[in-house]
Structure formats: structure tokens, C-alpha cells
Chains A and B, each alone.
Chain A
Amino acid sequence: MTAIIQVQALTKRYSEVARPALDGVSFSVEAGSLTTILGRSGSGKTTLFRCLNLLVRPTSGQIRIGDQDWLMLDAHALCLARRQMATIFQQFNLITRLTVIENVLASQLSNVPFWRAALRQFPASQREWAMYCLERVGLSEYAHRPAGQLSGGQQQRVAIARALAQRSRIILADEPVASLDPETSAEILEELRAIVRDDGLTVLCSLHQESLALHYADRVIGLVEGRLVVDTPATTFTPAHRATIYQPGDTLLDR
């Protein structure tokens, strides 16, 4: 197995005075695995994701994706490089006024001439591919419905289909189930697990629920106040790890 994501001493400071949002985080992710990041709100999970697809610039540290030094890319190279990476968000971030299939086809925007992008006219081969990806998540009969009319779980499945259609190597999922009910959450993780198993993609996914992480993930990474405190295979995750990440005693639930 080879490491597809390598993060070295990654630090992000939003201001000089506050503690850094990320503080010297180092880890690597193997290709074709599902890794989850656990941590409380404000522990730096979202900042880590935003650094990985360079929506924010890290203050210091190194990121290697495949064989590319991520922080040395110029704007154009970055645009190309980002296509290897699909992102799934807590709030789905679909284009609610467009149909489901048009949302999946958004993954093809970089592969078509400008006029096709502007007029939303995609060649048949791409429409078929998008349809196939929708079938994979079991939503092909909703293809021509406006995305905004679907339930939360269905919208997140559309987002997964879009990520799949992008033919990227990596999927970053930033709390993909945080606004969904427990059953739907499990279905979504099932879907991500299937993509890792059947398509060999690499998924990095942040979660709140430890139980979901242990059930679906290969590896578990834990963040506390921007520092990496746990990095272990899911099979060897212990209550001690849990205690480190969630620091019992200072919430109502733990008393």
C-alpha cells in the first residue's frame, strides 16, 4: 500500500494571538482506505479539510497528494490538481434549482468547452456516465427532479454521485452525516464504504460519532485543539483513545 496523502507538520494560524487552528499535524493516508477524523467542534477538522483542498493556505507545513507537492502549485496547476479531489459537505451544497442529473454533471464542467458549461448541454457519453453514477447511489429515478426537493439523505447521496462522477482519486467528506438522522447516516457511510471497496478510491471523512467511525473506517485519527492526539487502526481503538479525544468530565453527558 502506498500513501496517497502525506501531511507533515501542518500548522494554520488564523490570527497571531489565538491558538493555532491546526498545530503541527502529521499523518499519512493509504490509497484505497477509509480514514475518519474524530474530534469535537472546534478541534480543527474543518480547517484540516480546507487546507487539504487549499481553500485556505496553511501557515506552515507540507502536503503531498500522490507525488505532487501541494503547496508549490501555481493557480492553474492547483485548478487541475483539485480535480483529483472531490469534496462532500455537511450542508450538501447542491445547486438546489438544478435537477439531480445536472448536479451530477457539474463534475464534468472542467471537461467540456465553455459554451457547453454555460448552456448546460453535455454530450451523451457524459450524461450516461452521470446516470450510471446516480444508479450507483440508487437515485436514478430522481434524475430529473430539482435537487432542492430531495430529502437530506438523498441530497447527500447526490453529492456522493457527483464526487464519484468526477473520477477523482480522493474524496474529502467534511462531516457528511452531521445533519442527518442515525439510520440515514449509516446508509451514507455504507455508500462511502462501497466506493472505497469497489472503486478503490480513498476517503477521508470527519465524523462526530465514534461508533460510526469504528464500524466503517480502516483508520481513526483524533484531533484535540488543533493537535493530532490519536492515529490508530480502527480495530485497535481503545477507551483510552476515546478519553484522549473527548476528554471526559467537562460535558454534561460525561458527569
Chain B
Amino acid sequence: MADKPPASSTRTRRGAGRWIAALLFIVAVFGGARLAQVDMGKFFHNAPRIGLWVGRMFPPYDGFRNPPNSTELNTYFRNALTTAAAALAFIPSVLATRTLTRSKVLFYPVRWFLNLLRGIDSFIFAIFFVAAVGLGPFAGVLGVAFHTWGSMAKLYAENLENLDLTPMLALEASGVSRPRALLYALLPDAMPSLISTTLFVWELNVRLSVALGVVGAGGIGQDIKNAIDLLNFPHLGVLLLMVLAMVTIIDQISTRLRQGLS
């Protein structure tokens, strides 16, 4: 290439860039640690106590004085439902796909709105909905659903932007309307990545909603918090094992499904 700068100056510039990046990284690590009041001394001083807690979880058996109830299973079904509902995000995601929506009046407001949903974490939504609809799983469902809508639409839109549009345009050139052309020519091509994205978000949501219980959104997270508050470590052990088992099972299912698709 004729317009490429001489190799030596490129190398110098790139070298300087690397030093600056390294410096910024070091500043960020130490500055962040200071701001977050990281105190490794405190951590090591108290480490034996943490070990003690873990020790007291064994054996993870509390005589079933607090039998695990259906809230555990609930968490997963609820999440499957919430994620399925959030899959409707496909509709706004089409509008938020640059290559598909040429109208700026439509594209930007939809994109901003989805960014708003995505920018606010499920936790914040859940706390908000606990205040609005009261303690319990419903607040958690709403929290997860609202945030998931935003992030799923974003992921869908990115999938759609990478697709080859020519088969769809070919149909439009012969007078097929855009919605029909999109469903017929683009969706089959998009399906594997859309399903894979949905399964991925489901996994995330399952782990997330365990934590959501802590802010009063019900489910197993609530039980975990209660067990810690009551210092009932064997019960805590049982609950953590259940979470581990379920997350592993879901990981397996979705990995299999995704392999089957490709």
C-alpha cells in the first residue's frame, strides 16, 4: 500500500500506545482498590471465620426440620416463563436493527427505550417492583422481565445485523411485503442464533433470580438469606447444593440444545 506510513513510525506509535494503556490499567486497579476500601489484611485476618462457616455447613443435612419446599422449583419455572415472555423482545429488536429499519424516527426512540431497560439492572427493577406490588415472586418476575427485555432485544438486534439480507430483498423485489419477507426469508436464517441467545439469557436469569430473593423477591434466594440470618448453616448447605445442582442441569440442557442447532 502506498499510503501506509513508514514501518518504524507505526511501531513507535504503537509502542507508546501500549505503555499508556498499561499505565492506565495500573492506575485503575490501584485507584479502584482504594475506592472500594480493599483491605487484604482484614480478609486474611478473618479468613478462619469464613472457613468455620463453610465447615459448619457439613454435613449439609438439617434433619429436614426446614424441608425444602416448592419455592426452589418455582424459581426455575418462573425463569423459563419470564425468559419466554421476554423472547417477544424479537419484535422491538427488528425495529432496533440498523439494517432493517431505515426510518430514523422509529429506530432511535426504540433503541433508546431498549437501552434504558438494559441500563437499569434487574435488582433495581425488583426493588422498585417490591415497592409497587409487594414482597414476593411477582416482583422478581417483573424485575427480571423488564431488564431482560432490554438486553435480549439488544442481543437479537446484533444477531440480525450480521445476517445476509439479500434473500429477503430478493422477495421484496418481487412484491412480497416486508413482514412476510422477513418471516419467510430472514427468520429461518436467524433462528439458531436467536434460540441460542434465549437459552443463554435463561441461564443468566436463573443465577440472577437466586440473588434477587435477597431483596425480597421470594424464591430460594429468600431461603438462603433466612438461613444466614438464623445462622442455620446445615440448611444453608442444603440450599446451596440445590442451587448448584439446578444450575448444572440447566447448563447441560442448554448446551445440548445449542449443539443440536448448529
Residue of chain A at shortest CB distance from B183: A118
Cβ contact within 8 Å between A93 and B167:
yes
B90 CB to nearest A CB, Å:
13
10 A-B pairs with least C-beta separation: A82-B175, A83-B175, A93-B170, A97-B188, A117-B180, A93-B166, A95-B167, A109-B176, A87-B173, A95-B185
Q: Please, how many residues of chain A have a CB less than 8 angstroms from a CB on the other chain?
A: 29
With the chains together, A96 CA to B163 CA distance in Å? 12
Q: Give the nearest-CB partner of B186 in chain A.
A: A95
Contact indicator A81/B175 (Cβ below 8 Å): yes
* A247 at interface by CB-CB < 8 Å: no
Give the residues in chain A near B179, CB-CB below 8 Å.
Answer: 114
Bound CA–CA A96/B168 (angstroms) = 11
Q: Which of B180-233 contact A (CB under 8 A)?
A: 180-181, 183-185, 188-189, 191
Q: Which of B167, B169, B188 has the largest number of chain A CB atoms within 10 A?
A: B167
CB distance from B199 to the nearest CB of A (A): 19
Q: Which of A89, A96, A117 contacts B183 (CB 8 A)?
A: A117
9 A-B contacts, Cβ less than 8 Å apart?
A55-B173, A79-B177, A85-B174, A97-B191, A106-B176, A106-B184, A106-B185, A107-B174, A110-B180
Q: What is the 8 Å Cβ interface bit string for chain B, positions 53-76, against chain A (1 contact, 0 not)?
A: 000000000000000000000000
Nearest Cβ on chain A to B192's Cβ, whole angstroms? 9
A-B contacts besides A87-B173, A93-B166, A114-B180, 5 pairs, CB < 8 Å: A85-B173, A93-B167, A109-B171, A110-B175, A114-B179
Smallest CB-CB separation from A54: which chain B residue? B173
A80-B170 in contact (CB<8A): no
The yes or no answer to A98 lying at the interface (CB within 8 A) is: yes
With a 10 A CB-CB cut-off, give which of B176, B177, B179, B189 has the most chain A CB atoms.
B176
Task: Give the residue among B169, B173, B174 with the most A Cβ atoms within 10 A.
Answer: B174
Question: For the complex, is A232 an interface residue (Cβ under 8 Å from B)?
Answer: no
Question: B183 contacts A98, CB within 8 Å?
Answer: no
Task: State the CA gap A200–B177 with chains docked (Å).
Answer: 27
Query: Bound state CA distance, A87 and B185, in angstroms?
Result: 16
In the complex, whether A197 has a CB less than 8 A from a CB of chain B is no
Say yes or no: is A94 at the interface (Cβ < 8 Å to chain B): yes
B180 contacts across to A, CB distance below 8 A: 109-110, 114, 117-118
Question: Once the chains are docked, how many angstroms separate the CA of A120 from the CA of B175?
Answer: 18
Determine the chain A residues whose CB is within 8 A of the CB of B171 once the complex forms: 106, 109
How long is the Cα–Cα vector from A110 to B181 in the complex, in angstroms? Answer: 10
Give chain A residues whose Cβ lies under 8 Å from the Cβ of B181.
Answer: 109
For the complex, give the distance between the alpha carbons of A72 and B127 in Å.
57
Interchain CA distance A79-B181 in the complex, whole Å: 12
The answer to whether B174 and A117 touch across the interface, beta carbons within 8 angstroms, is no
Q: How far is the CA of A95 from the CA of B168 in the complex (A)?
A: 8
Chain A residues closer than 8 Å to B177, beta-carbon distance: 79, 110
A80 to B166 CA separation, bound complex (whole angstroms):
20
Interface digits, A93-133 against B, CB 8 Å rule (1 contact, 0 not)? 11111100000001101100010011010000000000000
**CA A93 to CA B177, docked complex, whole Å:** 17
Are B170's CB and A87's CB within 8 A? Answer: yes
> Does A46 sit within 8 A of B, measured CB to CB?
no
Whether a CB of chain B sits under 8 angstroms from the CB of A184 is no
Check B174 against A86 for contact (C-beta < 8 Å): yes
- What is the minimal beta-carbon distance from A63 to any residue of chain B, in angstroms? 15
With CB as the reference atom, state the residue of chain B lying closest to A166. B174
**Known contacts A95-B188, A114-B180: A79-B175 contact under CB 8 Å:** yes
A62 within 8 Å of B by Cβ? no
Answer yes or no: A168 CB below 8 A from chain B CBs: yes
Whether A26 sits at the interface, judged by CB under 8 Å, is no
Q: Is A28 among interface residues, defined by CB-CB distance under 8 A?
A: no
A residues 154-203 with Cβ under 8 Å of B?
163, 166, 168
- The residue on B at minimum CB distance from A94 is B167
CA distance A53 to B172 in the complex (A): 10
Docked Cα-Cα span, A83 to B176, in Å, equals 8
In residues 51-96 of chain A, which contact B (Cβ within 8 Å)? 53, 55, 79-83, 85-87, 89, 91, 93-96
Bound-state CA distance A87–B174 (Å) is 7
